């Protein structure tokens, strides 16, 4: 749902901009709304990856207690908590940026209303806005990444101490796939939101945003589905029935 919402927020206006040869106009409320939902869904995704890493930690390190610890109630609370935390972090930043004074040209050098690209239009001092963006990025990117590293550190330690070679291979197999998504997500977010504004490059920002906004939503379902044995068996049965 997060990936679908993120793509729906970005892709239609991006296609409209490409078809209009970059001459598409967007209102200030429309730009603010797109920026709000983009950051909300992106930051919720980062927090949610930390939640999933915790679930993976319980599955590998405490398999017999998994159903007891990771209950439906806890899953619902952590999911709502991820969205709620994203909302509380993003709303003040969006309001702050939308009140920036824009003078001269008002052309965003990007294919959507990304926060660093919008702040470059301001003719006023943006140090306060940059500090707010940095603080929110640390809360939504750096802290969840630390929790993910701790979870996977415990997972690797548990796997290494397993006696069964087959058990080690199976645990590594199921735990390695989500790491691809984590690396893609956090590398892109770090390059865009945690780098100093003085080193921000519009061209690099666009290239990283293409990977983050279009390749990641396509990759995630493949990663989580292909490594799922039930999905793989269902696809294999369907293929055999048709052939």
For the residues 160-179, what does the mean pLDDT come to? Answer: 72
pLDDT at 45 over 80: yes
**pLDDT bucket at 174, cuts 50 / 70 / 90:** low
Tell me the per-residue pLDDT of 94-104, one tens digit each, with 9 for 90 and over.
888 877 777 76
Residues 189-234 have pLDDT tens digits of: 777 777 766 666 767 777 777 777 777 777 777 766 666 667 777 8
Q: Which residue has the tokens 């409209």?
A: 16
pTM above the 0.85 mark?
no
Cβ atoms of 185 and 216 within 8 Å: the answer is yes
CA angle (150 as vertex; 190, 161 as ends), nearest 5: 135
How far is residue 191's CA from residue 215's CA, in Å, rounded to a whole number?
16
Question: Quick one: pLDDT at residue 140?
Answer: 81
> Whole-angstrom Cα distance, residue 22 to residue 24?
6
Give residue 5's pLDDT: 84
Given a cut of 80, whether residue 184 has pLDDT beyond it is no
Distance CA 26, CA 118 (A): 12
């Amino acid at each position: 749902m997060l990936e679908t919402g993120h793509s729906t927020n970005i892709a239609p206006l991006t296609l409209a901009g490409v078809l209009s040869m970059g001459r598409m106009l967007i209102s200030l409320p429309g730009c603010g709304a797109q920026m709000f939902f983009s950051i909300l869904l992106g930051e919720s995704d980062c927090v949610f990856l930390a939640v999933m890493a915790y679930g993976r930690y319980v599955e590998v390190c405490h398999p017999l207690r998994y159903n007891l610890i990771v209950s439906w109630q806890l899953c619902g609370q952590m999911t709502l908590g991820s969205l709620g935390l994203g909302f509380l972090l993003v709303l003040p930043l969006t309001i702050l940026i939308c009140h920036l004074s824009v003078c001269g040209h008002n052309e965003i050098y990007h294919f959507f209303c990304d926060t660093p690209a919008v702040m470059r239009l301001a003719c006023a001092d943006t140090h306060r806005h940059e500090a707010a963006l940095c603080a929110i990025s640390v809360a939504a990117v750096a802290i969840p990444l630390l929790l993910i590293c701790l979870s996977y550190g415990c997972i690797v330690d548990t796997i290494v101490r397993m006696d069964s070679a087959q058990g080690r291979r199976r645990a590594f197999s199921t735990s390695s796939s989500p790491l691809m998504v984590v690396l893609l997500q956090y590398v892109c977010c770090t390059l865009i939101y945690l780098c100093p504004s003085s080193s921000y490059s519009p061209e690099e920002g666009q290239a990283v945003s293409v990977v983050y906004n279009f390749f990641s939503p396509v990759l995630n379902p493949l990663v989580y589905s292909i490594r799922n044995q039930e999905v793989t068996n269902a696809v294999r049965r369907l293929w055999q029935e048709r052939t």
